Structure 1
């Protein structure tokens, strides 16, 4: 799944692919925003972790869950 995270006062976004489901990511974002958590932590396919302060989250965009196709499609 493709994920894009927008950061307040930053012209760039964080973009990565993860094996987590949309529901897992949505729950992690909701927990970070509604509780006393100070940050959101997500991990990509390569094992890298992204830690974003909860107060700096502008948006989180979910992409398609299907794998990308390679080659020609008829």
Structure 2
């Protein structure tokens, strides 16, 4: 899956968790928790949904590494190789 397809998949999962977010405007550098007022459960649910959808293992110890969409994309790309 290329980066654009990964980005779209992540944004779809984000939209399911926080439907009020306009995912078309999400930038790769924005800290998701701060910019979109996500709480820790929202973030955890997002990572679990991504794991289920993309079949990428994301250990809990790595959750803190993925604060932005760009960091999340980089992490998933590395894990998928």
Structure 1 or 2: more helix by fraction = 2
Q: Please indicate, yes or no, whether the TM-score normalized by the shorter chain is above 0.5.
A: no
Give the alignment's TM-score, normalised by structure 1.
0.29
Whichever of the two has the greater Rg, that structure is 1
